[in-house]
Structures are given as C-alpha cells and as structure tokens.
Amino acid sequence: MYKRIVLKLSGEALQAGANGYGINPEVTHRIAAQIKEVRDLGVQVGVVIGGGNIFRGTGATAKTQGIDRTTADYMGMLATVINSMALQDALEKQGCFTRVQTAIQMEELAEPYIRRRAIRHLEKGRVVIFAAGTGNPYFSTDTAAALRAIEIGAQAILKATKVDGIYSADPHRDKKANDRRLQPGKARQHQAGGPGGEDRHGGRVRCPLNRSRSCPTSPPSSGRPRPRCSRGSRR
C-alpha cells in the first residue's frame, strides 16, 4: 500500500450528468466519502482537481469566446479554487480535516502553497487540496498534479479523469491522439533506466515519481483500467 498519493480529479467529476454544469452536492459528498475511506487506511492524500465543470481555460475556449488565452487560463485556475472549496466542505462535513492550498495567494479563502506546510498537514492526517494549478497559464492541472506529487514525495498519482491515460492530444477531439502510457519495452530510456525499456523488475517500468518502486503497465484481469502513475496531460 502506498504511504502518500496525489489524486487527480477532473472538474467534470463534480457535475450533474454528462452534460451538466457546476457542482452536484450529492456527487461531491460521494467522492469525499471515498477519499476519507482511503485516508482512514493510513494513506496520506493530496488532491488536485480541474475546473472544467465551471470554466475550461484552453486555447479552444479562449478562441471560441474571444477571451485572451492567458486570461482564460487564470479564469480556469479560479474555477479549480471553487471546486476545491466545495470538496473541502464535503470532506469536513464527514469529519475529515482538510486544507486547501492555492498556487495564487488568496489568504482569505485558503492557505498559500508552501511545500513544507503541505507535507506537515499530510503527516498529521489531513487531506491537502492543491488548487489553482501551477499558478501559471499554459499549464494544465494534470501538470500541476505531477509537479505537486514530485514536490511532496508522493509515491503515485491516481488519475480519475475522463480519459484512461496520457495522450498527445484530447482523444475526444483528435482521433489521431497517441496513447502515451508507459508500456514494457517501449518506455523512454530516462524513465526505465535502459534503452530496451525494461529493467530488473521484470517487465515493470520504474515509476517516474519514485524510482525505488515500479508501476504495473498491463491492465488488470478484470478489464477495468487501474490508476496509473502519470506525469502530465490535458485536463
């Protein structure tokens, strides 16, 4: 069992239905209950959540709505703060102490992101929600999840979003998007430690977050996708 993880949630996970908008309280409380269940197992949990259920700060959105791309990205960061506050409220109503830390300072609402403070909260058994992405435009919340995971020494990123892996583009919009999940024999040399892609773990590729562990790359026998360690993709 992992000691410390980062859970990446899409903003759409909180909305009502496939075409919904905003935040569904029932869904939010159900997700909070599952996070609390993992926390109660003794796992330290950090969370990064997107903002696509409120506003998606992508080039397509900016172009469609006539909003400057940088401004659109900052608007998307604010959407992640709204989602983070909603999830915090749901967690604390279930007795799970939670802290929200933002990459953009807004001290009346949440703590600023401070690495050592975040780690201390995790060690005390609190869930830490990392909001506002990386604080920089042109970077997705998946990138923020990978960055925070590395900074706090997480052993895995669990990606619970609309897509089942890492792609070169949005697979829902681009049929030619390439699946970039780690595969035995095809992993990059700097990830697997050798030109052949395999290492001494026997067909398992070393996790880019923690090279002392390895990440299974074959699907489970049930056919359901298992959470995979990832280093960044689109929201």
CATH architecture of 4-177: 3-Layer(aba) Sandwich (3.40)
DSSP of 59-127: HHHHHHHT--HHHHHHHHHHHHHHHHHHHHHHHHHTT--EEEEESS--TTTSEEP-HHHHHHHHHTT-E
Structure token pair of residue 75: 């608007």
Per DSSP, what are the bridge partners of residue 233? Answer: none
Structure token pair of residue 230: 């990832």
Instruction: Tell me, yes or no, if the pTM score tops 0.75.
Output: no
> Where exactly are the structural domains of the chain?
4-177
Rounded to 5 degrees, φ, ψ at 179 are -75, 120
Along the 235 residues of the chain, how does pLDDT read in single tens digits?
899 999 999 998 998 666 578 999 999 999 999 999 999 999 999 999 999 899 887 767 677 778 898 999 999 999 999 999 999 999 999 999 999 999 999 999 999 999 999 999 999 999 999 999 999 999 999 999 999 999 999 999 999 877 766 677 777 777 787 766 655 444 333 333 433 333 333 333 334 344 434 343 333 444 444 444 444 444 4
CB 130 within 8 A of CB 51: no
